[in-house]
C-alpha cells in the first residue's frame, strides 16, 4: 500500500518569490512519482513525473522536482512564481510495473497544497 503526505495545506507567497511544496511518501514497493495541478473548477493537469534516471525532473510552467529516495520525498520547486500559478497542487505515487499487481497505474494522492501568489 502507498500513502502520500503533503506537509503544507496552504502556502502563501509573493509574486516573483521562490516556492517549495513538500511531499513525502510511504510505500512497500517501488513507485513512480507525479505532481498535478488543479485550477479552480477544473480537472488535474500533469506538471511533471519521475519514472527513473536523473532525480531532478523538470516540468511545465518552470516547475521542477527532486526525488530523494533516502528521505522518500519529492518536493516541488519554482524559482520565481507568477500570479497565474495560484492553484491547488497534488503529489501522487503509483506502483512500478511488476510490483503492483492489479494496482499498477493506480494513483494515490496527497491531500493537496493550495498555493496562493500575492501581487
Partner 1 sequence: ETGVTQSPTHLIKTRGQQVTLRCSSQSGHNTVSWYQQALGQGPQFIFQYYREEENGRGNFPPRFSGLQFPNYSSELNVNALELDDSALYLCASSVVGEWETQYFGPGTRLLVL
Per CB under 8 A, residues contacting partner 1 are: 4, 32, 34, 36, 42-46, 49, 51, 90, 92, 94, 96-97, 102-112
Residue 103 CB, shortest distance to partner 1, in Å, is 6
Select 32 or 78, whichever has its Cβ closest to partner 1: 32
Residue 29 CB, shortest distance to partner 1, in Å, is 13
Residue 8 CB, shortest distance to partner 1, in Å, is 14
Cell of 49: 513525473
| The residue to which cell 510490483 is assigned | 99
| Nearest Cα to Cα of residue 47 among 1, 16, 2, 78 | 78
Select 4 or 81, whichever has its Cβ closest to partner 1: 4
Select 98 or 119, whichever has its Cβ closest to partner 1: 98
Q: Residue 102: what are its φ and ψ, rounded to 5°?
A: -75, 0
Select 17 or 60, whichever has its Cβ closest to partner 1: 60
Residue 72 CB, shortest distance to partner 1, in Å, is 18
Q: How far is Cα 74 from Cα 92, in angstroms, rounded to an integer?
A: 10
* Residues in Cβ contact with 53 at an 8 Å cutoff, skipping those fewer than 6 apart: none
Q: Residue 109: what are its φ and ψ, rounded to 5°?
A: -105, 155
Amino acid at each position: 500500500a502507498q500513502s502520500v503526505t503533503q506537509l503544507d495545506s496552504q502556502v502563501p507567497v509573493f509574486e516573483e518569490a521562490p516556492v517549495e511544496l513538500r511531499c513525502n511518501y510511504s510505500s512497500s514497493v517501488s513507485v513512480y512519482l507525479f505532481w498535478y495541478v488543479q485550477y479552480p473548477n477544473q480537472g488535474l493537469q500533469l506538471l511533471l513525473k519521475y519514472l527513473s534516471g536523473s532525480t531532478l525532473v523538470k516540468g511545465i510552467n518552470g516547475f521542477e522536482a527532486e526525488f530523494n529516495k533516502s528521505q522518500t520525498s519529492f518536493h516541488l520547486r519554482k524559482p520565481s512564481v507568477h500570479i497565474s500559478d495560484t492553484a491547488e497542487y497534488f503529489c501522487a505515487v503509483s506502483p512500478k510495473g511488476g510490483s503492483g499487481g492489479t494496482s499498477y497505474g493506480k494513483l494515490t494522492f496527497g491531500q493537496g497544497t493550495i498555493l496562493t501568489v500575492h501581487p
